[in-house]
Structure 1
């Protein structure tokens, strides 16, 4: 095929970024003719984030931030059909800021293997090379993580109530969690504050109408008041307009309704988290932890296996009890530990899974409940892939 069909689309834009993450594909070379104490640029891949991915689309967005302590001499992107082959197309970044630059462009690819290489050289002779391999075509879908998969987060935080006492931390908590999910894990985040009953259900309906891809994930988080009714034998979420003495509970949002509506959202992988009182009454089932078989597989194989199983998992603060809202401006105990888990990046493999989050939660005095609901499949998981 002629090289001309591999055209670079869109213009290159340059955006500074303070986040630095080194990939396992990173290769560092030293020019011995230069300073032996050369420093090396670091490349933060935004898209695609994983070393080996798959795409059904012929056009794929490539985004990467390049940062260096010493001035950058050159930064070049090569498009290849083989990792060690000759470039079919190349693009050199214009370095406006000598310590930072950015690639933001779209590549048109062909079926099979497509290799993207970024080479960053500093003025002291340090050379950093990083690769991404994208397989294109239906034949490759079964054994690769899709490059165009998307993680979503819908976060509800309610501080102000018409008929209940106001809280101090739910909005603060979901804003902090949303920031970690967006910046650290690349989630598309939406935060809804002080929602009434209709706003909550309307927003859930909106997310049920998204055209999710098979490996997309959805995290739903509720923070606010919760209540348990001994007569109905059921827990409820309290909306901003819920009545204090509502015997019929028509102004509340029942766990049963939440469970049913979320279970029917057409996203294969859903994780529901509730930092509310009596949240543990949501479901009696307990979830399994990460399989020991993970040690026998690489990261990509593990992700493919987990993202092929339908996920309906939940995590609640406490069980059938009241839980603390915390001190103003310092997060609730549940949110604080959840944020700590997110900041851990999941360890060296940079894959955070639910059993690792649960390990942080077990430190709390009021032990959270961790379980499954609806159409959950055995062996499923919800994964947070750090950039």
Structure 2
């Protein structure tokens, strides 16, 4: 078989490299790597080599190897002649590789033409010396090697891992995970336990295992969020129904630096919930989905789902550090769509609600770009409870001896108790349903009564308006007729006057002149009399109009008085439905910027900020922090202070009035502080900074109102249709986490004027807050603000949750205090 030209050239280049290194004096006396070290270096690794080559002229040789785990390799080569002379060449080929007697052996695809002596079947030792990693033959060093390792990204970490295997021979590569588990004597025996219901840990609980520390930062039903410290790594772990774990970069890492996050959807959450209460033999299976939070969801390209099976294997009493725990043993088996898998066991202690011991072994690992596994095959991830500190006022059960089991209950007695419990549950459910039906009937009756009263008031006002309009039209018609009659009479008198004057001129006698004069005086007297009559009629018409206006004002005052009387009743009635709901404390950060140093100044932003702060403080009881003309450092410091002081019992409103900017290249929006400069982002505040701040806040509900140009980049499209606010709606909204925003416009400039002393957006916000009588959520606020803003200015407000900031279905609630 003929040898392709690129293979011949590569053979010649490597022969030249060997000859160039033929001087034994240049060979380093470092120790050759053994089989285990070679397997760690080359299995599944990309390796770059540099050496010398010579075809017609001498040159530099560059090789790029990819060593696959199944024993195949692929290589690109390039011989670049020095000085730009012709005669260089490039190509690629494949082959197989193996490790034999502490040497790396390569067999290229095509034999002949010197392959037997140079490449095919030839084996090389590998060392690390002052020059780095290198290939060595008996003639000495002939290739400089650079490794791109999937587990050890830096040369220092790779060399440390290799040297840790210096005593090994052939066989599997050892795990690089540091086992910190102390030698704990564990004794186990079988026990009988009753079904164990789910027990949520208390916020503030600190759990110390032998190699990690967990602190409970948030609980919400079956969801628990832990602050995890493992070695020097700080992260946040989400656990749904305890066993559904998901976090950023949990099992794999994106090789481009994007964040791989995990999620559990609603259907799989229900499967985890149904796994409780725990009892021997119970099973479930659920899925966890990988997503790439950096650009698009990975499941459209590289994302995989993890299928995890759980089974309660048995009940077992174990002893750890001299403390006895009666536990359920849960066996888990997991496999991902791209081939990763692990098995493990967890010991759950029902009394404390804690996992006191866990074991996990990775049984299969693959390397498939763009994802890098965080574990190697055979690695173990084990941990054991050392101690736990519960919040003040609770009992640290993990630090106490396990109490004796209660006496056994007979099957019949247990069945009777279960029947009684079920009957009580049904009775409670029926009573709750009855109360809800009665409340709904009362609400509907009240609504019908209010609607009827409103219709009556509207009809009464319409009747008065019709009467007033009819009187006005009748008076106008009468005045018009009288005016026409006056005009006719004046014209007649004018003609008579003209005739008298003509007669006087013709008569020429004194008597006739006197008669003509008397006639003129009579005409002028009648004109004056007609003018007086017209004046009196005008005054009468004005009196009637004033009387109609007075009646209308009296009616409006009566309706307003009724509204003032009924408003406290409505407020009291709404307060009855809110009894027992903990709305928490309310805080506000208000930012207003007019006097820009390097940008056009605004006119209403500071007045907007002061007006919003006043109504929130005086009428809603907010604790308000106001920043007037702040720079970037002032804003970031305010964010950090809120992050340090707020808890999950707090609500936060952030209001920004100032310039905004959209970077169309990155599709990212910015707030511009008072010292911002055009085209200089160092003094801008990006939406990413705002989103990260919201994500890190402990406040349960956060609402951002942004009155600036291009503010719509802070939100994503969302459905804000009508919600049914029945039953325990307000209680649900108060308990769920919310990260929402209302912006004055989308990807467009917005108006600074148009609302008098305020911008259209600020005026609408203040008006809606002042009109609210009891409680209002963010959707209602947006619905009442949207139309007034669109009418006053050419901009369209938007409402949605803030992207990637921790929104969990809740909403911001405004509860009026005065």
Normalising by structure 1, we get a TM-score of 0.58
Q: Does 1:384 align with 2:814?
A: yes
Query: Which of residues 656, 659, 663 is equivalent to 1:222?
Result: 656
- Aligned equivalents of 2:646, 2:612: Cα separation in 1: 25
Counterparts of 1:112-127 in structure 2 under 5 Å? none
Q: Does 1:308 align with 2:735?
A: yes
Match of 2:600 in 1: 165
- Aligned equivalents of 2:697, 2:654: Cα separation in 1: 11
Aligned with 1:195: secondary structure? coil
Query: Which of residues 254, 273, 295 is equivalent to 2:705?
Result: 273
Match of 2:669 in 1: 235
Following TM superposition, by how much is the alpha carbon of 1:328 offset from its aligned partner in structure 2, in angstroms?
A: 8.9
Match of 1:371 in 2: 800
Match of 2:537 in 1: none
Aligned with 1:209: secondary structure? helix
Query: Which of residues 549, 573, 582 is equivalent to 1:146?
Result: 582
Following TM superposition, by how much is the alpha carbon of 1:291 offset from its aligned partner in structure 2, in angstroms?
A: 2.6
Over the aligned positions, Cα root-mean-square deviation in angstroms equals 2.6
Aligned with 1:220: secondary structure? strand
Following TM superposition, by how much is the alpha carbon of 1:286 offset from its aligned partner in structure 2, in angstroms?
A: 1.9
Say if 1:168 and 1:329, in contact at 8 Å, map to a contact too: no
Counterparts of 1:331-350 in structure 2 under 5 Å? 331-345=758-772, 347=773, 350=774
Counterparts of 1:163-312 in structure 2 under 5 Å? 163-214=598-649, 216-246=650-680, 249-286=681-718, 288-289=720-721, 291-292=723-724, 294=725, 296-297=726-727, 301-312=728-739
Following TM superposition, by how much is the alpha carbon of 1:194 offset from its aligned partner in structure 2, in angstroms?
A: 0.3
Say if 2:620 and 2:815, in contact at 8 Å, map to a contact too: yes
Structure-2 change in CA distance of 1:239 and 1:357 (3 Å): same
Unaligned runs of 5+ in 2: 1-571, 573-578
- Aligned equivalents of 1:268, 1:167: Cα separation in 2: 33
Following TM superposition, by how much is the alpha carbon of 1:288 offset from its aligned partner in structure 2, in angstroms?
A: 3.6
Q: Does 1:355 align with 2:760?
A: no
Structure with greater Cα Rg: 2
- Aligned equivalents of 1:153, 1:270: Cα separation in 2: 10
Aligned with 1:217: secondary structure? strand
Indicate the structure whose relative CO is greater, using CA pairs within 8 Å and at least 6 residues apart.
1
Following TM superposition, by how much is the alpha carbon of 1:289 offset from its aligned partner in structure 2, in angstroms?
A: 4.8
Aligned with 2:729: secondary structure? helix
Following TM superposition, by how much is the alpha carbon of 1:245 offset from its aligned partner in structure 2, in angstroms?
A: 3.1
Residue-by-residue CA offset, 1:207-260 (whole Å, 9 max, x unaligned): 11114243x2100011100011111221110011111232xx222111111111
- Aligned equivalents of 2:733, 2:596: Cα separation in 1: 39
Following TM superposition, by how much is the alpha carbon of 1:266 offset from its aligned partner in structure 2, in angstroms?
A: 1.0
Following TM superposition, by how much is the alpha carbon of 1:329 offset from its aligned partner in structure 2, in angstroms?
A: 5.7
Structure-2 change in CA distance of 1:239 and 1:382 (3 Å): same
Residue-by-residue CA offset, 1:114-156 (whole Å, 9 max, x unaligned): xxxxxxxxxxxxxxxxx9xxxxxxxxxxx93238x21011100
Aligned with 1:231: secondary structure? coil
Say if 2:700 and 2:738, in contact at 8 Å, map to a contact too: yes
Say if 1:151 and 1:217, in contact at 8 Å, map to a contact too: yes
Structure-2 change in CA distance of 1:289 and 1:240 (3 Å): same
Residue-by-residue CA offset, 1:282-315 (whole Å, 9 max, x unaligned): 12232545631x2x32xxx433211110000001
- Aligned equivalents of 1:182, 1:309: Cα separation in 2: 24
Say if 1:239 and 1:253, in contact at 8 Å, map to a contact too: yes
- Aligned equivalents of 2:768, 2:721: Cα separation in 1: 15
Structure-2 change in CA distance of 1:231 and 1:211 (3 Å): closer
Structure-2 change in CA distance of 1:315 and 1:287 (3 Å): farther
- Aligned equivalents of 2:753, 2:617: Cα separation in 1: 24
Say if 1:169 and 1:328, in contact at 8 Å, map to a contact too: no
- Aligned equivalents of 1:326, 1:274: Cα separation in 2: 16
More helix by share: 2
- Aligned equivalents of 2:656, 2:751: Cα separation in 1: 15
Say if 2:754 and 2:760, in contact at 8 Å, map to a contact too: no
Aligned with 1:256: secondary structure? helix
Structure-2 change in CA distance of 1:306 and 1:358 (3 Å): same
Say if 1:168 and 1:327, in contact at 8 Å, map to a contact too: no
Unaligned runs of 5+ in 1: 1-130, 132-142
- Aligned equivalents of 1:185, 1:264: Cα separation in 2: 26
Match of 1:26 in 2: none
Following TM superposition, by how much is the alpha carbon of 1:351 offset from its aligned partner in structure 2, in angstroms?
A: 0.4
Structure-2 change in CA distance of 1:231 and 1:307 (3 Å): same
- Aligned equivalents of 1:290, 1:327: Cα separation in 2: 29
- Aligned equivalents of 2:776, 2:796: Cα separation in 1: 20
